[in-house]
Amino acid sequence: MARKKDESVKERSADELFKDFKEVSITEFFRKNKAHLGYSGKLRSLTTVIHELVTNSLDACEEAGILPDIEVTLKQMGSEHYRFTCRDNGPGIPEQHISNVFGKMLAGTKFHRSVQLRGQQGIGVAGVTLFSQMTTGKPVRIITSTGNGKVHDIQLMVDVTKNRADILEDNVISQKWRGTEIQGELKGVLFNLGERSPYEYIRRSAIANPHLKITFVDPEGRKSVFDRTSKEIPKPPKEMKPHPKGMDTDELINRAKRSQSRRVSSFLETEFSRISKSKADEIQGMVNFDLKKNPRKMAWAEAEEITKAFEEIDFMAPPVEGLRPIGEEQIDKAVLKILKPEFSSVLTRSPTVYGGGVPFQVEVAIAYGGNSGRGNSDDGGRAEIMRFANRTPLLFDTGACAINQAVQSVDWKRYDIRDFDNSPVTIFVNLVSVHVPYTSAGKQSVSSEDELVKEIRMALMDVGRRFHRYHSRMRREIEKEARMNTLIKYSSELAAAVSKLARKDEEKLTKSLQTLITKKLKIEYKALESEDKK
């Protein structure tokens, strides 16, 4: 017993426990929790690198109004050891920002703006630098120029404890070129051509970005060129004002504090979409304080009265200009080109908002038959769900994603797809928003906010109904043909019998009987089809 007592647990004081209290840098945090950024597993880590680089190049080109031309190369250096290069024709990076773009986390041009871009966190590319350095101990190389005749050729490494990058080398070359190239090495990663590979990531990027030309040279030296199918540069994303619907009090206060307006009323009118003078008057009638008040002095309870009024008042839907869907025509082109389906249907819904007044919009497509579905996949079912957020392919963390949840929530049997998982069907969903609520810094899964799931579901049910109509018609066509064939078969026998009885020309009789049958059936089916449309 005595021995047991010695082994028993001694209490320790709070002071003793807190002697190690420390703060860490965000870089150090992600170094230790690299799975948060998508760096887990050999294949996923490599796909994540490609994802971050392509996303960044695309955003830069579109913001600058340039038709993107991107070249990605992966070269094998040894076992689980690769070298990556990503070169774009984008606007380049001004000298003073290079080290921050590639080496500082939570820094960027996108965070504070309510603008639809692929990146929104200010973490991704700095994460690539960190991961490359963590697996190889080597710097990344950046070659960039804004087109001013000077090309910077830089080597940089992240200082993990300080969340900043140290430039080890900076060579300036005089050359007329504009764009950015990043090169680096990775260890402990693997390439393949599977469903979640860098290749598939690039292929899907091409599908969702018809204006993109992207070239990929894989480690075997195979070159794939995905040429653009459209030369139209998407309009640069526009900063969008928040919409009053769904606005929360915290965000309202936050914006009020940063506002330059002298009155709450003018703050609301200028900094929100769809709040006119008359709407502001309506709000005034519903709150217990004077909207002439200085917005920077608005109290929480007052802001709460406003958000409550927002909920009760009808506002116009958010404007479409700030959101950049791919477009029904472009999706249809892309889908038809690749999947050659028996049936396809595309739908872009009108913009609406989710919590916090964030505008979003949903585009969906369904393709059935042809090369739709996943083909001979090992993963079980044939149905394929292609998820995109602001045209960025989402390949991982499917289970928790709002898009996947919406697809699963649809009762496909109602639309004549009896065994959805095993049907030759491809579902395409693109979520367009100025802020996509990802579930983690790895950005592969959309948080299942009610409004998002509902909108996606509604859109899917719509294309589901279209498939149902097509399928019923197809079934009827088949039935009609069968019936016609039967009748026509008997018509010649009937004609032979009648000709014997009535002594009429058998051939003539057969013909007129067949004409009769065809006419009758056409009328019948027309009636059915017009009923269908009701």
Query: Of residues 44-103, which lie at the interface with a copy of itself (CB under 8 A)?
Result: 60, 63-66, 91-94, 97, 100
Assigned token pair, 95: 């000298």
- The answer to whether residue 408 forms part of the interface with a copy of itself (CB under 8 A) is no
| Contact criterion met (CB below 8 Å) for 271 and 252 | no
| Contact criterion met (CB below 8 Å) for 285 and 306 | no
| Contact criterion met (CB below 8 Å) for 229 and 337 | yes
- The answer to whether residue 137 forms part of the interface with a copy of itself (CB under 8 A) is yes
Element (H, E) at 364: strand 358-368
Residue 344, CA distances (Å) to 367, 385, 402 in order: 4, 14, 23
Say how far apart CA 177 and CA 144 lie, in whole Å.
9
Q: Which of 3, 5, 22, 534 binds a copy of itself (CB under 8 A)?
A: 22
Q: Which of 2, 18, 502, 534 binds a copy of itself (CB under 8 A)?
A: 18
Other Cβ atoms within 10 Å of 391 Cβ, number: 25
Q: Return the number of the residue (92 or 322) whose C-beta is nearest a copy of itself.
A: 92
Say how far apart CA 102 and CA 306 lie, in whole Å.
41
> Shortest distance, CB of residue 401 to a copy of itself, whole angstroms?
9
Give the residues across from 84 on adjacent strands. 74, 184
- The answer to whether residue 312 forms part of the interface with a copy of itself (CB under 8 A) is no
For residue 438, the 8-state DSSP code is B
Q: Which of 36, 81, 150, 349 binds a copy of itself (CB under 8 A)?
A: 36
> Shortest distance, CB of residue 463 to a copy of itself, whole angstroms?
25
Q: Return the number of the residue (303 or 331) whose C-beta is nearest a copy of itself.
A: 303
> Shortest distance, CB of residue 155 to a copy of itself, whole angstroms?
14
Residue 7 identity (one-letter amino acid): E
Q: Return the number of the residue (12 or 533) whose C-beta is nearest a copy of itself.
A: 12
Assigned token pair, 486: 């039967």
The residues in 233-262 that bind a copy of itself, with binding defined as CB under 8 A, are 233-236, 248-250, 253-254
Backbone φ and ψ of 35, nearest 5°: -60, -30
Task: Report the relative pairing of strands 425-433 and 384-389 from DSSP bridges.
Answer: parallel
The residues in 100-129 that bind a copy of itself, with binding defined as CB under 8 A, are 100, 104, 106-109, 111-113, 121-122
Sign of CA dihedral 225, 231, 232, 237: positive
Q: Return the number of the residue (62 or 384) whose C-beta is nearest a copy of itself.
A: 62
Q: Which of 437, 495, 509, 513 binds a copy of itself (CB under 8 A)?
A: 437
With contacts defined by CB under 8 A, how many residues of the chain interact with a copy of itself?
86
The residues in 344-403 that bind a copy of itself, with binding defined as CB under 8 A, are 396-400
The residues in 482-501 that bind a copy of itself, with binding defined as CB under 8 A, are none
Say how far apart CA 312 and CA 484 lie, in whole Å.
59
Say how far apart CA 200 and CA 378 lie, in whole Å.
16
Q: Which of 135, 330, 348, 510 binds a copy of itself (CB under 8 A)?
A: 135
Q: Given the rule CB under 8 A, which of 7-15, 284-292, 339-347, 454-462 is the region that contacts a copy of itself?
A: 7-15
The residues in 438-457 that bind a copy of itself, with binding defined as CB under 8 A, are 438-442, 445, 447-450
For residue 415, the 8-state DSSP code is G
Say how far apart CA 46 and CA 351 lie, in whole Å.
34
Q: Which of 1, 2, 3, 13 binds a copy of itself (CB under 8 A)?
A: 13
Say how far apart CA 22 and CA 448 lie, in whole Å.
34
Q: 437: closest CA among 452, 447, 451?
A: 447
Q: Return the number of the residue (146 or 361) whose C-beta is nearest a copy of itself.
A: 146
Q: Return the number of the residue (38 or 393) whose C-beta is nearest a copy of itself.
A: 38
Site map (CB under 8 A) of a copy of itself, residues 206-225, x = contact: --------------------
Q: Return the number of the residue (60 or 335) whose C-beta is nearest a copy of itself.
A: 60
Backbone φ and ψ of 357, nearest 5°: 70, 25
Q: Which of 24, 168, 316, 516 binds a copy of itself (CB under 8 A)?
A: 24
Element (H, E) at 307: helix 300-312
> Shortest distance, CB of residue 480 to a copy of itself, whole angstroms?
40
Q: Return the number of the residue (146 or 392) whose C-beta is nearest a copy of itself.
A: 146
Q: Return the number of the residue (2 or 17) whose C-beta is nearest a copy of itself.
A: 17
Site map (CB under 8 A) of a copy of itself, residues 263-302, x = contact: -------------------------------------xx-
Backbone φ and ψ of 27, nearest 5°: -65, -40
Assigned token pair, 159: 């200082």
Q: What is the dihedral of CA 320, 455, 354, 108, to 10 degrees?
A: -70
> Shortest distance, CB of residue 26 to a copy of itself, whole angstroms?
6
